[in-house]
Structure 1
Amino acid sequence: MSHSSFNRRWAAVILEALTRHRVQHLCIAPGSRSAPLTLLAASHPRLICHTHFDERGLGHLALGLAKSTGQPVAIVVTSGTAVANLYPAIIEARLTGERLIVLSADRPVELLDCGANQAIEQTGLFAHHAAALNLPRPTPDVSARWLVSAIDSLLGQQVFGAVQINCPFAEPLYGDDPDAFRSWRDDLGKWWQDDRPWLRQVAARATPVNPEWGFWRQQRGVVIAGKMTAEEGIAVARWAAELGWPLIADVQSQSGQPLPSASIWLQHPQALATLASAQLIVQFGSHLTGKTLGGWLADCQPEDFWLIEAMPERRDPAHHRGSRIVAEIVPWLAAHPALAQPAWCPELTRLVADITSAIRQPAFSEAGLAQHLPSLLPAQGALFLGNSLTIRLVDTFAQLPAGYPVFANRGASGIDGLIATAAGVQRGSHRPLLAIVGDISALYDVNSLALLGQSQAPVVLIVVNNDGGQIFSMLPTPASERQRFFAMPQQVDFAAAARLFGLQFHRPDDWQALVTAVERGWQEEGATLIELRVAAEEGAQSLAVAGKVRQE
């Protein structure tokens, strides 16, 4: 009993330390070795606990929560392969900056490398994808002050991405004497009644100011908007408009995309000739969706190139010569005010309007869904876009409302955990959510439909069933091998999946039926799954046809 009681005291300090770093949501998978953490989390008054039986989905649920709340999210898993199943979510967080805190329960050291059950080497399991703290086995010989300051030091230094706190626990794991080891716990004194970390790390992060801005803001500039928050997207759009500079915006920018369909018009000779005279390119945010935009950026040679983003490290795959500015976007804009002036290339706006009016898509189609997507969005809601062909089509054909929250997993751009991430976005935002994924993506994360079934606000998940990974039809894959080894058509019926997890289900056969199904979904409690069956290669062919318009 005394040993299990000290496990609980140790776990209590860990969890309390996390709350001092703005952790509110904690995602838990079932397991016995993690029982000290789970039981303390369940009784903690400031923690909201989420559960899932699938650790891979649990990691992405936490990722979605971190995306929508902007706060770090903790994950509790038991030892063994349960920890390894978090890897895809950890990699995504490393690339896009969401803060995940993995509390991985572990066997004590004497049970490692000796054939003990469910014991693997967990120290450093995530390599450079996550900073790590390997705790000792709980013992009163290690002070509570050391434990809390070690956690504070790790979290104070790692302000982006994931961390792993490996927590060995020896048996017994259950039972508690509330009066045991009180002096060890009370060594932290008034910290228990405070709301600040034990060890506060203060880093001076003054917004860098370019002394040449007075000169550059009077030149010909182009603004690129990558992945940003709604507040940042609106501010960047306003700043670019006041300067009279064209804004080329990614689907994740939430800027309103004043020049939509950049993947198409950026290949038009007149557009390229106009933009070639730009002297400065200022990019906010990274992880651009459109391959055409990335290609244009790689080819352009402005006099200077600035990339502004709060995350450190290199974020420019074209490796421009210029300035990599590590700063929060909104404060940086305030420190570099725009100079109101007329647009220096108004002909570009007219060209884009002509091109976009010529690429109208049939509403009831894969490309049509992307183009008409704004009409399906819930009021005061949010949008989650799956990878592969889905987000590319929306980036190409849609113009989303300014400031409307858009979420995606565009770090590693995998198809794993997309439904779980969407569920986390909804739980963190408390908004109605429209999510769109492809059929293979849905099958890959079908377990996470259980998470959608627990939604507290309406969720509509549209699964675009084009019978396989049709993005590969855009690539020069050999026709004789494409179906078997690349597209892999599954010919599945998603009605069965909806029944399995208790979701509302619709399979509309025209645009009006789709609109009706979506609107009905906003009136339902919980989640609605809509299967949109489309011709196999229609979406990819639409991109190819639209590309021909750009040359005219």
Structure 2
Amino acid sequence: MSYQWEASFAAPVSVPSVISSIVVDELLRNGIEWVVYCPGSRNGPLGFELARRAAAGALRLQVRLDERSAAFVALGISKSTGRPAAVVTTSGTAVCNLLPAVTEANYSGIPLVLVTANRPPEALGTGASQTVEQTALLTSQVRHVQQIWSGDMLRPETNGVVRSQVCRALGIASGRRHGRPGPVQLDVPLSSGHPPEDLAAPFPRGRRDGEPWLRMPSRAVESTSSHEIDLREPTVVIAGDGADLSGLPPHIPCVAEPTVDVGDRARLHPWVLDYVLPQQVVVYGRPTLHRNVGTMLARADVDTVLVDNGEDWIYAAPHMKVLTAQPIYRHDLSPSWAEELRAVDATMRRQWAEILTDDRDRRTGLGVADTVLDTLEPGDVLWLGASNPIRDVSLTGSLPAGVEVLSNRGVAGIDGNISAAIGAALARPNRRVIALVGDLTFAYDASGLQFGRLEDVPDNLLVVVANDSGGGIFELLEQGDPKYRREPYGNTFERIYGTPQNVDIARLCAAYAVAHRTVEVPELAAALRHCRDERRLAVLEVPITRAELRDVHTRARRGVDAALDSASVLHALRETPAPSDLEYS
């Protein structure tokens, strides 16, 4: 069958197949290398074209049954590579299932492209099967919604219109248009979901040499505001998720979350903020991990400088003094202040190291995190689940050099973590990926371990499940106060916060044909080293307790207080209310 784009369009062409081919071709021209596809009828023409291009080596394709999981796999790929990945779905509730991952991508600034097949416009609002107002479903969380041209007849201008629409959406997703990456939706109404009659049918060409239809250079930085920071004043730098510290002098230490690459500079223990009183605080990225960050930023006697990273939010610092795109650092930290930060940090780390020498204390998530950190090697990727695992890593040790840390910190949910870690492993096949998650996080997204028989399964992913039979994080919050374990509350805490699940993780893994092994904390290091020699997706389940977790944190806090009092290094903050025994929210 020949195809003449400039003809009268009376040729027996499949309009849905032609539109699908144009969309896929322009996605590739705009740098899309990974597509996660969910089976369906309406998106069939897109699926056939994707499979054809994947067979030719033009893209990497992963087929996933569950749209919610698929979106998180694509998110993990995008987070790991820094480049947009696409997820393709059929119409109806399939689009609804994308929302959790899209929300995470929105708040963490991760480029993600949603290609949602749709019924033709004339079918919407008629009660036809699988028709919903899907261009409005995700509007609060996507940067842009673009409905692709649709119709029963092709026109000479259709090629340019469709390609331009794809380019604009990809420019927004990657941040080239507005300087802020994030998710976008390409809604593709198709009059039929029938596969093409000719898989090799030609379609309208794009630009020569594989160029995108529209060239969209990166947006020039609009804000040139600068602010001088005098480091002779006692200064603390806080680096939250997404922080870019390239403009920070390398000798300046900072309180940085695990997902932040601090380079060669010192990473201060987060509890340092409870024991020092700076005159100014400089904030990079989006801190979401520790309560004491918010406490520090709420102080009226501390000047807060927020380094603008193009986001459309301002961190909750009610007394923030300056918002700047270009901090200019003058002078050096005073020797006395630098020594105070170093001494307090060293005290925290010594105390936590001492706590974790007790076998009883090591049989907690803290001990699991400490062991995992000790076994990491340069080049590894560490995926951290929400709730306790990422905080345990932040509290118990130092991240080894050359290890990349990833986590869903946009909205910090426990959903989608297994799927996202799988995406990171698929995108980095030559690097060992270790995911550390809790049992509830694992159970929530266990279906992420479901692979089609024809799909690539990452053999470089190891999932460590710290199984404390429930929601350990609540043990450390106000709800975990012992008084709520007594009458009249009775078993209420355990039922609505602890929420232990009746799940046999070993059998669950067996159902998904995933290797599983249960190991105690003392055996974990050896098991991790053994798994390095095996090339297969595996789960290590580590039984731990959460009953003592609150006491562990309390003893660590008291030990720090005693050590600092004895060393007389507490700053003027000793005149303010004592820090809470509770570490975070």
Residue number in structure 2 paired with 1:200: 215
Residue number in structure 2 paired with 1:216: 230
Shift of 1:11: 1.1
Shift of 1:473: 2.2
Are residues 1:354 and 2:365 paired? no
Residue number in structure 2 paired with 1:176: 197
Contact 2:232 2:334 in 1 (8 A): no
Shift of 1:342: 5.7
Structure 1 counterpart of 2:169, from 127, 133, 154 = 154
> Which runs of structure 2 are paired with 1:226-265 in the superposition (5 Å)?
226-228=240-242, 232=244, 235=246, 239-241=249-251, 245-255=252-262, 258-262=266-270, 264-265=271-272
Residue number in structure 1 paired with 2:35: 26
Are residues 1:408 and 2:418 paired? no
Residue number in structure 2 paired with 1:437: 437
Distance in 2 (CA, whole Å) between partners of 1:51 and 1:438 is 26
Residue number in structure 1 paired with 2:569: none
Distance in 2 (CA, whole Å) between partners of 1:465 and 1:204 is 46
The AA in structure 2 aligned to 1:102 is L
Contact 1:246 1:343 in 2 (8 A): no
Distance in 2 (CA, whole Å) between partners of 1:381 and 1:300 is 42
C-alpha deviations, 1:392-441, integer Å up to 9, x for none?
Answer: 22122221124421000111111110000111111222310110111111
Distance in 2 (CA, whole Å) between partners of 1:154 and 1:514 is 46
- Partner-residue secondary structure (3-state), 1:254: coil
CA distance 1:376–1:450, shift in 2 (3 Å): farther
- Partner-residue secondary structure (3-state), 2:298: helix
> Which runs of structure 2 are paired with 1:147-546 in the superposition (5 Å)?
147-158=162-173, 159=175, 160-171=181-192, 173-177=194-198, 185-186=204-205, 188=206, 191=207, 193-202=208-217, 204-206=219-221, 213=228, 216-217=230-231, 219-228=233-242, 232=244, 235=246, 239-241=249-251, 245-255=252-262, 258-262=266-270, 264-267=271-274, 271-272=275-276, 275-276=277-278, 278=279, 280-299=280-299, 301-303=301-303, 305-309=305-309, 311-326=310-325, 336=328, 339=331, 343-345=335-337, 346-360=339-353, 361=356, 362=358, 363-430=362-429, 431-450=431-450, 454-477=456-479, 478-479=484-485, 480=490, 481-511=492-522, 513-546=523-556
The AA in structure 1 aligned to 2:188 is C
Structure 1 counterpart of 2:138, from 122, 126, 138 = 126
The AA in structure 1 aligned to 2:438 is G
Contact 2:519 2:541 in 1 (8 A): yes
Shift of 1:125: 1.1
Distance in 1 (CA, whole Å) between partners of 2:315 and 2:35 is 33
The AA in structure 2 aligned to 1:357 is R
Structure 1 counterpart of 2:148, from 120, 135, 142 = 135
Are residues 1:94 and 2:106 paired? yes
Name the stretch that deviates more: 387-396 or 139-148: 139-148
Distance in 2 (CA, whole Å) between partners of 1:41 and 1:286 is 36
Contact 1:290 1:395 in 2 (8 A): no
Contact 1:260 1:398 in 2 (8 A): no
C-alpha deviations, 1:202-231, integer Å up to 9, x for none?
Answer: 455248656653x635544322222247xx
CA distance 1:82–1:515, shift in 2 (3 Å): same
The AA in structure 1 aligned to 2:285 is G
CA distance 1:112–1:217, shift in 2 (3 Å): same
Which sections of structure 1, spanning at least 5 residues, go unmatched?
A: 327-331
- Partner-residue secondary structure (3-state), 1:58: helix
Residue number in structure 1 paired with 2:583: none
Shift of 1:22: 1.7
Are residues 1:144 and 2:159 paired? yes
CA distance 1:29–1:351, shift in 2 (3 Å): same
Shift of 1:140: 0.6
The AA in structure 2 aligned to 1:168 is P
Contact 1:417 1:445 in 2 (8 A): yes
Which structure is higher in helix share? 1
The AA in structure 1 aligned to 2:554 is A
- TM-score, normalised via structure 2 length: 0.82
Name the stretch that deviates more: 170-179 or 44-53: 170-179
Contact 1:314 1:324 in 2 (8 A): no
The AA in structure 1 aligned to 2:148 is L
Contact 1:254 1:401 in 2 (8 A): no
- Partner-residue secondary structure (3-state), 1:550: helix
Shift of 1:176: 2.8
CA distance 1:252–1:341, shift in 2 (3 Å): same
Name the stretch that deviates more: 195-204 or 45-54: 195-204
The AA in structure 2 aligned to 1:21 is N
C-alpha deviations, 1:114-153, integer Å up to 9, x for none?
Answer: 2322222212210221120122424313521111112222
Contact 2:44 2:193 in 1 (8 A): no
Shift of 1:108: 1.2
Size of the aligned set, in residue pairs, is 521
- Partner-residue secondary structure (3-state), 1:547: helix
The AA in structure 1 aligned to 2:133 is E
CA distance 1:36–1:472, shift in 2 (3 Å): same
The AA in structure 2 aligned to 1:458 is N
Contact 1:78 1:106 in 2 (8 A): yes
Name the stretch that deviates more: 353-362 or 99-108: 353-362
Contact 1:102 1:162 in 2 (8 A): yes
- Partner-residue secondary structure (3-state), 1:406: strand
Shift of 1:32: 1.3
Distance in 2 (CA, whole Å) between partners of 1:384 and 1:519 is 17
CA distance 1:181–1:342, shift in 2 (3 Å): same
- TM-score, normalised via structure 1 length: 0.87
Name the stretch that deviates more: 171-180 or 86-95: 171-180
Contact 1:458 1:523 in 2 (8 A): no
CA distance 1:351–1:174, shift in 2 (3 Å): closer
- Partner-residue secondary structure (3-state), 2:450: helix
The AA in structure 2 aligned to 1:167 is V
Residue number in structure 2 paired with 1:329: none
Are residues 1:42 and 2:51 paired? yes
Name the stretch that deviates more: 132-141 or 197-206: 197-206
Contact 2:253 2:268 in 1 (8 A): no
Which sections of structure 2, spanning at least 5 residues, go unmatched?
A: 2-10, 176-180, 563-585
The AA in structure 2 aligned to 1:413 is A
Distance in 2 (CA, whole Å) between partners of 1:119 and 1:4 is 25
Contact 2:378 2:403 in 1 (8 A): no
Distance in 1 (CA, whole Å) between partners of 2:18 and 2:394 is 50
CA distance 1:529–1:118, shift in 2 (3 Å): same
Identical-pair percentage: 26
Contact 2:90 2:116 in 1 (8 A): yes
Distance in 1 (CA, whole Å) between partners of 2:513 and 2:268 is 38
Distance in 1 (CA, whole Å) between partners of 2:350 and 2:247 is 25
C-alpha deviations, 1:511-549, integer Å up to 9, x for none?
Answer: 1x2112111211111211111111133334423332333
Distance in 2 (CA, whole Å) between partners of 1:15 and 1:147 is 11
